[in-house]
Amino acid sequence: MSKGGPVILDELDLKILSMLRSNARIPYTEMARELKLSESAIRKRINRLIKLGVIRRFTIDYSISNEVRAVVLVKTQPPLPVPEVSKNLMNLTCTDRVYEVTGEYDIIVIAIATDIPSLNKCIDEIRSTKGVASTNSIVVLRSWP
């Protein structure tokens, strides 16, 4: 969902997003060659996707052997609305991603720390965030791209 509501993406937009998802550093010239467009057309489409809020950030996917990740399921409590609690959770330094979800829990936080004690501290910060009623933490043992 974009900043101003639903955005209609065509097949070309979806191909561009797929290419960026695979490699956020792919040169526009390479994308243009593969999609049979001009570099200028690629640049304009990407700028449009950024302006519309479809592309929110360019990032990297990485793996560090001593890093600890956890999925933290969060239940919220009124009167704070879920989006406000989510925003507060996103501001924690150990938070990588925050998702509002359906089901028994309201929010999923992907937390990253350098070791278990740091992860415990992170989970304590999540639990002490205003609007958080309870959490359930799951430590990630292994991941695949």
Query: What CATH number is attached to the domain comprising 131?
Result: 3.30.70.920
Tokens linked to 144: 């695949």
Side by side, the strands of the sheet bearing 68-76 are: 95-100, 107-113, 68-76, 132-139
What pLDDT score was predicted for residue 60? Answer: 78
| Residue 145 counted as domain residue | no
| Residue 94 counted as domain residue | yes
| Residue 144 counted as domain residue | no
Contact status, residue 16 vs residue 49, Cβ threshold 8 Å: yes
What pLDDT score was predicted for residue 1? Answer: 46
What is the spatial distance between Cα 1 and Cα 91, in angstroms, rounded to a whole number?
21
pTM: 0.72
Do 50 and 7 have their domain in common?
Answer: yes
Tokens linked to 122: 């992170």
| Residue 115 counted as domain residue | yes
Q: How far is CA 113 from CA 7, 15, 80, 91, 118, in A?
A: 35, 34, 27, 15, 6
Do 133 and 75 have their domain in common?
Answer: yes
What pLDDT score was predicted for residue 5? Answer: 67
Question: For each of the chain's 145 residues, which pLDDT tens digit applies?
Answer: 445 668 889 999 999 999 998 899 999 999 999 999 999 999 999 999 999 999 998 887 777 778 999 999 999 998 999 999 999 999 999 999 999 999 999 999 999 999 999 999 999 999 999 999 999 999 999 887 7
Do 20 and 77 have their domain in common?
Answer: no
Could you list the residue range(s) of the whole structural domain that residue 25 is in? Answer: 1-60
| Residue 90 counted as domain residue | yes
| Residue 88 counted as domain residue | yes
What pLDDT score was predicted for residue 4? Answer: 60
Return the CATH number at 36: 1.10.10.10
| Residue 5 counted as domain residue | yes
**Domain count for the chain:** 2
What pLDDT score was predicted for residue 61? Answer: 76
